[in-house]
Structure 1
Amino acid sequence: MPLILPPRLSRRATLAAAASLLPLPALHAQSTEPIRIGILTDLAGPYRDVTGPTSVACVRQAVEEFTAANPSIKVEIVTADHQNKPDVGINTVRSWFDQRGVDVVTDVGNSAIALGINPVCVERDKVHMNASAGTSELTGRACTPNSVHWSYDTWCLSNTSGTAITKGGGDSWYFITADYAFGHAIERDTTRFVEAAGGRMLGASRYPFPQTTDFSAFLLQAQASRAKVLGLAMAGDDLVNCVKQAQEFGLTRTMKLAAIIGSITGVLAAGLPTMQGMFIAETFWWDLNDRTRGFTRRVQSKLPAGVFPNYVHAANYSGILHYLKAVKELGVARAKASGRETVAMMKRLPTDDDAYGPGTLREDGRKIHPSFLLQVKKPGENRYPGDVYTLAATVPAEQAFRPLSEGGCPLVK
């Protein structure tokens, strides 16, 4: 149908009226500036396997799937190794924003770096889509209108492990803790849930991070405590090394081992003979259902043989896919102009993808979904590659994460 104009409508008004009748996606498609995603991760250090190259592969998978359905939106990816040094991470992010036009930073994987880049993202009005730093402060006192926190936090996994294991009879605990913000938060949060469930914390040893490879002195202290559960507030290579040494000292004959922030990555690296019986809390399990298995098959085409994504890897896929959906709703130009507006759109849209299924994004930036307590199978119980877990308990989404009223996020009224 032709556009019928009033007799005295000006040429400028005519053009404005015509533009207003164009479908919104068509207007969005006019922008040729790409969205730029910065993956800040550990590519060579102790968290390389639990974040690192597999996180990069999962972001690429999300981008491929989104751009296949939305070819008019161009997306570029840059990566950098933060070396687990806050100054390196913060300076990298500043450089990305100022010189490379990066719009969103994902993964991160180190709580000190995550807390350090939050103000930078606010200052530059960019998006911090954190998939792998553990501190629950990101949705607490350190929350911002430019940041979201996917997958897990220390409150969630401490709740999952501390409550379920204590109620199951593991009512006395000793911790070996990485001596920085991430480890402290795990120990603090788990202690709260152990005591709330009727258990006791008998002590803790803190080791220097990331210089420690010999955990023997700390394991002897744990053994002397006579606690029923050894809580491991660590991740990556540290976790694998500590568990191997715990086996050598015979601790697993008298203590249950609980990796509060463990994952399938560590289980496969150490093997079932070493990790058997270990309790691990995760928010994504590749073998949970047909959708998680489908996502895993797709991303494994980008991975070395035998690698299975963990909840951090899956969060990079899930979070970036949701971010790109928000970009589509806003239009590329508006999304690039304001990370704060993009995050607000992310919170308005329901989340749904093959890794995490349906969910929500709360006003404090916390992504909400169930959490699982898993127990590592014994050798011989596994039936196929990656079949390493038995489901011990499921915490529903509405109970898995800290209530809004307890976080102290200034965005929550």
Structure 2
Amino acid sequence: MKKLAMASVAVMAAAAAFPAYAAGISDDIVKIGILNDQSGVYADFGGKWSYEAAKMAVEDFGGTVLDKKIEVITADHQNKPDVAANIARQWYDEDKVDAIMELTTSSVALAVQGISKEKKKIDIVTGAATTALTGDQCSPYGFHWAYDTHALAVGTGGALVENGGDTWYFLTADYAFGYSLEEQTSKFVTDNGGKVLGSVRHPLSSTDFSSFLLQAQASGAKVIGLADAGLDTANAIKQASEFGIVQGGQRLAALLFTLSEVHGLGAEAAQGLSLTEGFYWDRNDESREFGKRFHDRTGRMPNMIQAGTYSAVLQYLKAIKKVGTDETEAVSKALHEMPVNDVFAHNGKVGANGRMIYDMYLMEVKKPSEMKGDWDYYNVLATVPGDKAFIKPSESGCALAQ
């Protein structure tokens, strides 16, 4: 009897340590929503190509999880938080979506993460930049998977100074994202012994950067930092090429720019550009194989947003399989515990604040004469270790990580 009683205590202790979750798949289907910009300035940044990456992940996983169908749906949030919020609520309440991913644009991502927290649903952000997602607005069900402003600042700011770019002048988008990117990059420039010579702010969706570029050129700074994104960055680079700024010895540093935008510009205009990404298709055999398959179905190579979306979907499905249910608490716990090993990240780890930590890369766009074929755009200048690229969870301001 004594042994039986002890065994009962052990069973109860185990039950307390591992909460009981409802086994199996709710609604007999796992439904994932890819919500992003598909018609505006970030349409190439993630867009319908992230949707294709998500479908690739489902196909590579086998199409089912725990013997239940996996479905991926998508919508365009038009870079409007209210539109995104309405879609998210409909997806959760009426369409029985289990998780929302991608979420380009920081204001959108924050809005949807708030709703996901309220509804106790998982969101995994690959397209937005703000560190607030895993900082003071973190969520037990929210994850930030690809890049953030801190990683871009460390990669392009700190690492570029170490490579000789020790004086900077900023062209900054005149809204919160641009200010944050300039501020964080300036910190890493000065922390690494560099100097910021000045900055100028431009309106969102500018078409004429000539006066801003002339100020930057006149500053004599070795690096002109573009603290903007999308078409603003592309237009600034095009006009910088017309002014011969790179040919004159100054470097352009795009603080948020990806392979998709480089391809849109072409190597002639983008040559010499420095930028940071968390993925490049031509780094190893595994990434080349993935890139070829992605190219076969889309006609383009993936950037870090699209490859990151593939990774996020795949890891989410792995977590469901591991815990035997799509119940949010159980899957969230598994996502925090499981290492990330796939084509996107090797030995990635998820902090208590939901930030996935992995290595980033400082890139330089090749000259056209150096390219060996289509999409052969980058030389990798430096690897930025994940623990350096991202804020330590304990220092992020997230209450979950204290």
TM-score (normalised: structure 1)? 0.88
Contact 1:41 1:81 (C-alpha < 8 Å) held by counterparts: yes
In structure 1, the partner of 2:337 is: 348
Within 5 A, what are the aligned runs for 1:147-158?
147-158=142-153
- What is the distance in 2 between the residues matched to 1:367 and 1:329? 19
In structure 2, the partner of 1:238 is: 232
Question: 2:321 corresponds to which letter in structure 1?
Answer: K
1:235-255 CA-to-partner distances (Å, cap 9, x unmatched) read: 222221110011112222142
Residue 221 of structure 1 pairs with residue 215 of structure 2: yes
RMSD (CA atoms) = 1.8
- What is the distance in 1 between the residues matched to 2:155 and 2:26? 45
Within 5 A, what are the aligned runs for 1:178-189?
178-189=173-184
Question: 2:233 corresponds to which letter in structure 1?
Answer: L
In structure 1, the partner of 2:52 is: 57
SS at match of 1:88: helix
Question: 2:393 corresponds to which letter in structure 1?
Answer: L
In structure 1, the partner of 2:395 is: 406
- What is the distance in 2 between the residues matched to 1:277 and 1:212? 23
Contact 1:233 1:259 (C-alpha < 8 Å) held by counterparts: yes
Residue 323 of structure 1 pairs with residue 312 of structure 2: no
- What is the distance in 1 between the residues matched to 2:107 and 2:176? 7
Within 5 A, what are the aligned runs for 1:84-95?
84-95=79-90
Residue 132 of structure 1 pairs with residue 127 of structure 2: yes
1:264-288 CA-to-partner distances (Å, cap 9, x unmatched) read: 1111111111111111111101111
Question: 2:254 corresponds to which letter in structure 1?
Answer: A
SS at match of 2:320: helix
- What is the distance in 2 between the residues matched to 1:136 and 1:280? 19
Contact 2:292 2:301 (C-alpha < 8 Å) held by counterparts: no
Equivalent in 98, 101, 106 of residue 103 of structure 1: 98
In structure 2, the partner of 1:19 is: none
In structure 1, the partner of 2:303 is: 310
Contact 1:148 1:343 (C-alpha < 8 Å) held by counterparts: no
- What is the distance in 1 between the residues matched to 2:263 and 2:65? 36
In structure 2, the partner of 1:172 is: 167
Equivalent in 24, 28, 36 of residue 33 of structure 1: 28
Identity %: 41
Q: How far apart are residue 178 of structure 1 and its match?
A: 2.1
1:294-347 CA-to-partner distances (Å, cap 9, x unmatched) read: 2112222320x2x11001111000011001111112334xx2x42x43222111
- What is the distance in 2 between the residues matched to 1:357 and 1:229? 31
- What is the distance in 1 between the residues matched to 2:203 and 2:182? 15
- What is the distance in 2 between the residues matched to 1:169 and 1:352? 33
Within 5 A, what are the aligned runs for 1:115-130?
115-130=110-125
- What is the distance in 2 between the residues matched to 1:282 and 1:113? 22
SS at match of 1:100: coil
Q: How far apart are residue 359 of structure 1 and its match?
A: 1.6
In structure 1, the partner of 2:206 is: 212
Contact 1:111 1:181 (C-alpha < 8 Å) held by counterparts: no
Equivalent in 362, 383, 391 of residue 351 of structure 2: 362
The number of residue pairs the alignment matches comes to: 380
SS at match of 1:269: helix
- What is the distance in 1 between the residues matched to 2:66 and 2:372? 41
